[in-house]
Amino acid sequence: VTCSRAQIAKSDRHDCQVAVKIVSKFQAPGEYLTKFLPREIEVVKGLKHPNLIHFLQAIETTHRVYIIMEFAQNGSLLDVIRRDTYIDELRSRRWFRQLLDAIDYCHEHGIVHRDVKCENLLMDYRFNVKLSDFGFARGQMKSKNGEWPLSTTYCGSYAYASPEILRGIPYQPQLADIWSMGVVLYAMVYGQLPFDDTNYAHLLKVSRYMPRPVYSMYTEVETNLSDAWLETSVVAQTSISDRFIGALSTIPATKESKVFDECVVSIDPAIFQGNERSKDVVDEDNTGIKKTDLNAKP
């Protein structure tokens, strides 16, 4: 969201460096202030997982809303890819496993992220993945009577968006998150995005099937991970998570890293009023669907 910016600060209260997301009430679209921002705060304050950026506090003033979060010292996965060209096998396996753990935790708690991408995977001081930016996240997305709720908010970044999002048809957001995970995996091991998102019409046409680069830096395990996603079309998306989990069975689980204690929230409850009554439909101009340049200099 262009109406927000991030700064690093020293918190005496939490005795550590923190990241502060600052949202201007005068620059932010009304729908963002009444729908997406309250939803983001409601979602993140209930999350507690070693591979998620931890929410500390939210403060509202007359002109701004401040969201105070854990600070990740080592930038983003995108920064690492730009620096190293591609991610070696050991790190890509480890980081993808951490991403899977984070997404699985969210989905188990009925939360969908809807903006999984390299820029939103931050690195802590030990280079553990921390999924961040829940600006388009939504809670209460568990199945009811065997049916999964669909979303009609078309958000995220073109290069990471599932075919349904690109086509503007209702989609299951859990599967869209998994699709985006596949794009992240591809970007890590090949050092490039699978699709050219500078031409929307072409992207719409080719995104049903994944391109396979002519070279490979994979072992058998990583080939299985890649195939679980590369061979997937819109029709077959329901099997992606099972394939990923099977291919990941030989990869060690991540070790627990420091988790922040319970946070104290001091935000005006009025900011949440009307949130649950709003429909999950938003104009494309306000969604923040963006292009991504993986190779641009920081």
**Taking CA 104 as the corner, what is the angle to CA 103 and CA 107, rounded to the nearest 5 degrees?**
85
What is the residue type of 234? Answer: V
Cα 108 from Cα 185, distance rounded (Å):
21
Contact indicator for 183, 204 with CB cutoff of 8 Å: no
Distance CA 35, CA 54 (A): 21
Cα–Cα distance between 66 and 6 in angstroms, integer?
Answer: 9
How far, in Å, CA of 5 to CA of 131, rounded?
18
Is residue 106 within 8 Å of residue 112, measured between CB atoms?
Answer: yes
Per the annotation, the verdict on 115 as an active-site residue is yes
Active-site position among 12, 104, 115, 261: 115
Rounded to whole angstroms, how far apart are CA atoms 259 and 70? 10
Name the residue with tokens 């077959």: 236
Pairwise CA distance, residues 223 & 129, whole Å: 22
Asked if residues 57 and 161 have their Cβ atoms less than 8 Å apart, the reply is no
Q: Are 188 and 86 in contact (CB under 8 A)?
A: yes
Measured CA to CA, the distance from residue 115 to residue 109 in angstroms comes to 17
Residues that are catalytic: 115
